[in-house]
Chain A
Amino acid sequence: MEERYALRMSDICVERAGSKVLSFPKLEVLENENIAVIGPNGSGKSSLLLAAALLIPSKEGLIEYFGQKVSRTNRRKFRRMASISFQNPTLLDRPIADNVKLAMRLRGFDKEAAARESNLWLERLGADQISKKKPHQLSGGEMQRASLARSFSLAPKLLFLDEPFGAIDPVDKVSISKALRESLNETKAASIIVTHDVGEAAVLASKLAILVDGMITQFGTIGDVLLKPNSSTVAALVGHNVFPIEDFVRAFRFFPPSDIEEYQAVSLPSHAIHTTPDPNGRAAIVRYEATTAGMNVVLAFSGLELSIVTSPDSVGIGQWAIGQRVTIELEPNKIVWLAK
């Protein structure tokens, strides 16, 4: 069956305040497909969403919604096929139910449909209890629920979500991500979801785009990108340990590949590293680090530092005590050699 694209962006170049913030040759989202975008701060993730949602213009290139070209004159029509939820939920200073209903009325829903659907979506997103409250009375999580309910109530064919879990606590995060996942499945809207967190990307999307300095440096299935990052930057973004090749070979006494000149660095995912407590081990646990996904323990080893993803539980039960010595084993087939 022929693949149908919900969104195609080609040869995009976006400038904001006189400087180039986005420049990439292609981004395609299939119908019903959910794509996550991760990248460092300032890499242009939010601009990518705004350009895709037709809210800021691309100086060059072409954007197509469901096979139809978007132009200056018809973009309002296409905007009405999509909805966007910002990182800091932008709700109007009126009760939440009115926020959702107003949005629906602007999209041409009649009064009865707006009342019915707004109640339905507020309930689905767990925001029915706050429907009479105004935005200033809500917590970050409640604002996010309201904003998502508004986005889904518009029955969008394309959904753009900017850091949907940006300002919410872990308990809310679990329930909102469940509601969001279910809503995405139900509406079958194609989506682009900007996030900092690889875990969120894996929960909500099937493909991952890495955005660095306004350019998409890698695009593929979540598994492909996580297991085979194509550069040091991508490897670091998805939480791998990245070492210059000489340091890696020296520290691990690793037999280098014959074509070592072709590589510049080694990317070592957490799951490639196995440790065993050993008083004579060459590595020692030196500290903990908080990450977007949870926490890492950091091992010092032959002048290098290795981060291993763990959970606060395992630290609590003393599995990873600071100062504890361990031996390290690597799974060679999980090591990623990064080409120059």
Chain B
Amino acid sequence: MDLIYDVFLKFFSILFGGSDEVWIIAGRTAIICSISTAISFLLGASIGFAMALIPFRGRSAVVAFANTGMGMPPVVAGLIVAVLLWRSGPLGGLGLIYTPVAMIISQCIIAIPLVSAITAGSLMALPESLLLQIRSLGANPYRSILILGYEARLSLVVALMAGFGAVISEVGAAMMVGGNLSGETRVLTTATVLLVGKGQFEEAIAYGVVLLSMVFVVASVLTLVQSMANKRV
């Protein structure tokens, strides 16, 4: 019993014992992941709408590609970004390797296919007659997209949740292109990996709990939004 008590004591002292480090890292994680999720959702949903609504040659191949991207291993995304941004790489001159921007780019590469595939899938599942009906009403393309987006709103929230989940939980790419630099690119996942490597399990658990709490809060908010959208009068 004393051991468990000690672990809890240590855990609370890490979180609330005066050191701000865990909260600074959590704040940085929140900012980086929010930006990645927002960009992934905007680009991914737009690609999803285009895949679902614009008939073009090779569309099924593009959808298959996006579906493949849903299983994109984070380390591969990290590798691609690292190769591009490495100092001797094609975009090395931008000096982005080991910066939060590089992490955001790699996280977007992971999340965009997910968001676009879920968006396209949900729009394709709507009845064809719905699109024809909207078109028959004389809606311009912009209004048509808004109306269809509203019809698919529950799936769009799912896409947003999936994008956020992928972004906040990945560690391989963040490590590879962010470098886990203290005070610059260290986020909760990379910090946890580092602490486990050093055998500091109490601290690692504390970081893990903060990470889990963040995911829980975001998922709860999105679930609430989803249930409000699904509220059937």
Contact = CB atoms under 8 A, between A and B. Distances in A.
B132 A93 contact: no
B60 to A, nearest CB: 13
Interface stretch (A128-136, A189-197, A285-293, A294-302): A128-136
Given A86-B129, A92-B151, A55 B233 contact: no
A103 B137 contact: yes
Given A95-B233, A134-B233, A55 B138 contact: no
Interface string A227-257: 0000000000000000000000000000000
A312 to B, nearest CB: 34
B136 A88 contact: no
A88 B137 contact: no
Nearest to A46: B129
Interface in B126-151: 127, 129-130, 132-133, 135-140, 143, 147, 150-151
A53 B233 contact: no
A53 B147 contact: no
A22 B123 CA distance: 28
Contacts of B138: 76, 79-80, 106-107
A50 interface: yes
Interface string A50-76: 100101000000000000000000001
A60 B127 CA distance: 27
A90 B233 contact: no
B129 A133 contact: no
Interface residues of A, number: 26
A307 interface: no
Central interface residue in B137, B140, B233, by most chain A CB within 10 Å: B137
B57 interface: no
Contacts of A80: 138
Nearest to B141: A76
Given A55-B132, A84-B133, A106-B137, A92 B232 contact: no
A90 B133 contact: yes
A114 interface: no
Interface in B177-233: 232-233
Given A82-B136, A83-B136, A132-B233, A92 B129 contact: no
Given A93-B151, A136-B232, A53 B127 contact: no
Contacts of B135: 55, 79
B227 to A, nearest CB: 15
Interface string A26-51: 00000000000000000000000010
Interface string B149-180: 01100000000000000000000000000000
A103 B139 CA distance: 9
Nearest to B231: A134
B153 to A, nearest CB: 9
B151 A88 contact: no
B47 to A, nearest CB: 24
A153 to B, nearest CB: 11
A19 interface: no
Contact of B147 (A92, A95, A132, A133): A92
A296 B139 CA distance: 46
A63 B233 CA distance: 43
A53 to B, nearest CB: 6
A258 interface: no
A276 interface: no
A333 interface: no
A76 B144 CA distance: 13
A137 interface: yes
B127 A90 contact: yes
Contacts of B140: 76
Given A76-B138, A80-B138, A50 B233 contact: no
Interface string B50-83: 0000000000000000000000000000000000
Contacts of A90: 127, 129-130, 132-133
B58 to A, nearest CB: 15
Nearest to A80: B138
A53 B137 CA distance: 11
A95 B132 CA distance: 20
A84 B136 contact: yes
A55 B137 contact: no
B137 A107 contact: yes
Contacts of B129: 86, 88, 90
A154 B127 CA distance: 22
Contacts of B127: 88, 90
Central interface residue in A86, A107, A136, by most chain B CB within 10 Å: A86
Contact of A55 (B130, B136, B143, B232): B136
29 contacts: A50-B132, A53-B136, A55-B132, A55-B135, A76-B138, A76-B140, A79-B135, A82-B136, A83-B136, A83-B137, A84-B132, A88-B127, A90-B132, A92-B147, A92-B150, A92-B151, A93-B151, A94-B150, A95-B233, A102-B147, A103-B137, A106-B137, A106-B138, A107-B137, A107-B138, A134-B232, A134-B233, A137-B232, A154-B137
Given A86-B129, A90-B130, A93-B151, 7 more contacts: A55-B132, A90-B127, A92-B150, A92-B151, A103-B137, A134-B233, A136-B232
